Chain A
Amino acid sequence: MGVKLLLDKAHVPGIRFFETYRKEGGYQAVEKALKQMDPAAIVEEVKKSGVRGRGGAGFPAGMKWSFIAKPEGVPRHLVCNADESEPGTFKDRYLMEFLPHLLIEGLIISSFALGSNDTYIYIRGEYAWIVDILEQAIDEAKAAGFLGKNILGTGFDCEIYVQRGAGAYICGEETALIESLEGKRGNPRIKPPFPAIEGLWKRPTVVNNVETLAAVVPIINMGGDEYAKIGVGRSTGTKLISACGNINKPGVYEIEMTLSVEEFLYSDEYCGGIANGKRLKACIPGGSSVPILPANLLLKTAKGETRLMNYESLSDGGFASGSMMGSGGFIVLDEDQCIVKNTYTLARFYRHESCGQCSPCREGTGWMEKILKNIDTGKGKMSDIDLLWDIQRKIEGNTICPLGDAAAWPVAAAIRHFRDEFEWHVTHPEEAQKRNYGLAHYADPIHVPA
Chain B
Amino acid sequence: MSKFNDEQLKEFSRLVARYPADKQKSALLPVLHLAQDSFGGWLSAETMDYVAELLQISPIEVYEVATFYSMYNLKPIGKYLFEVCQTGPCMVSGCDDIIEYIGTKLGIKPGETTTDGMFTLKTVECLGACGYAPMMQMGKHYREHLTKEKVDAIIDECRNNAAVNN
- Please list the residues of chain A having a beta carbon within 8 angstroms of any beta carbon in chain B: 84-90, 93, 118, 120, 124-129, 161, 163-169, 180-186, 201, 242-246, 250-252, 284, 288, 329, 331, 333-334, 337, 341-342, 345-346, 348-349, 352-353, 355
- Does B141 lie within 8 Å of A129, measured CB to CB? yes
Output the nearest chain B residue to A336 by Cβ-Cβ distance. B92
Which one of B74-82, B110-118, B129-137, B146-154 contacts A? B129-137
Q: A180-B29, A329-B130 are in contact. Are A245 and B68 (CB under 8 A)?
A: no
Q: Counting CB contacts under 8 A, is B87 at the interface?
A: yes
Residues of A within 8 Å of B98, CB to CB, are: none
- Does A201 lie within 8 Å of B126, measured CB to CB? no
Alpha-carbon distance between A201 and B32 when the two chains are bound, in angstroms: 21
Which one of B3-11, B18-26, B100-108 contacts A? B18-26
- Does A242 lie within 8 Å of B71, measured CB to CB? no
Residues of A within 8 Å of B25, CB to CB, are: 182-184
Output the nearest chain A residue to B69 by Cβ-Cβ distance. A166
A-B contact pairs, 30 of them (CB 8 A): A86-B126, A88-B88, A88-B130, A89-B130, A118-B18, A120-B18, A126-B71, A163-B29, A164-B33, A165-B69, A166-B32, A166-B33, A166-B69, A166-B71, A167-B71, A167-B124, A168-B68, A183-B29, A183-B65, A242-B131, A244-B89, A246-B92, A288-B87, A331-B88, A345-B86, A346-B88, A348-B87, A349-B87, A349-B125, A353-B125
Alpha-carbon distance between A353 and B69 when the two chains are bound, in angstroms: 10
Closest CB-CB distance, B91 to chain A, in whole Å?
5
Q: A331-B88, A346-B87 are in contact. Are A85 and B68 (CB under 8 A)?
A: no
- Does B131 lie within 8 Å of A352, measured CB to CB? no
Output the nearest chain B residue to A249 by Cβ-Cβ distance. B131
- Does B89 lie within 8 Å of A88, measured CB to CB? yes
Q: Counting CB contacts under 8 A, is B27 at the interface?
A: yes
Q: Counting CB contacts under 8 A, is B128 at the interface?
A: yes
Closest CB-CB distance, B4 to chain A, in whole Å?
18
- Does B29 lie within 8 Å of A126, measured CB to CB? no
> Residue A87 contacts which of B23, B26, B28, B126 (CB distance < 8 angstroms)?
B126
Closest CB-CB distance, A409 to chain B, in whole Å?
14
Residues of B within 8 Å of A353, CB to CB, are: 125
Residues of B within 8 Å of A250, CB to CB, are: 130-133
Output the nearest chain A residue to B85 by Cβ-Cβ distance. A87
Alpha-carbon distance between A29 and B32 when the two chains are bound, in angstroms: 37
Closest CB-CB distance, B67 to chain A, in whole Å?
9
Alpha-carbon distance between A348 and B89 when the two chains are bound, in angstroms: 13
Residues of B within 8 Å of A163, CB to CB, are: 18, 26, 29-30
Q: Counting CB contacts under 8 A, is B70 at the interface?
A: yes
Residues of B within 8 Å of A184, CB to CB, are: 25, 28, 61, 64-65
> Residue A243 contacts which of B18, B68, B131 (CB distance < 8 angstroms)?
B131
Q: A243-B131, A349-B125 are in contact. Are A125 and B69 (CB under 8 A)?
A: yes
> Residue B92 contacts which of A164, A185, A331 (CB distance < 8 angstroms)?
A331
Alpha-carbon distance between A126 and B23 when the two chains are bound, in angstroms: 25
Closest CB-CB distance, B86 to chain A, in whole Å?
7
Residues of A within 8 Å of B133, CB to CB, are: 244, 250
Known: A89-B130, A126-B127, A183-B65. 7 other contacts (CB 8 A): A90-B130, A165-B29, A167-B124, A182-B26, A186-B69, A345-B91, A349-B126
Alpha-carbon distance between A118 and B68 when the two chains are bound, in angstroms: 27
Q: Counting CB contacts under 8 A, is B72 at the interface?
A: yes
Residues of A within 8 Å of B132, CB to CB, are: 90, 250
Q: A165-B29, A182-B23, A252-B131 are in contact. Are A341 and B91 (CB under 8 A)?
A: yes
Closest CB-CB distance, A433 to chain B, in whole Å?
13
Residues of A within 8 Å of B89, CB to CB, are: 87-88, 244-245, 288, 331
- Does B71 lie within 8 Å of A125, measured CB to CB? yes
- Does B65 lie within 8 Å of A345, measured CB to CB? no
Q: A87-B130, A201-B20 are in contact. Are A183 and B69 (CB under 8 A)?
A: no
Q: Counting CB contacts under 8 A, is B44 at the interface?
A: no
Q: A124-B128, A126-B137 are in contact. Are A164 and B29 (CB under 8 A)?
A: yes
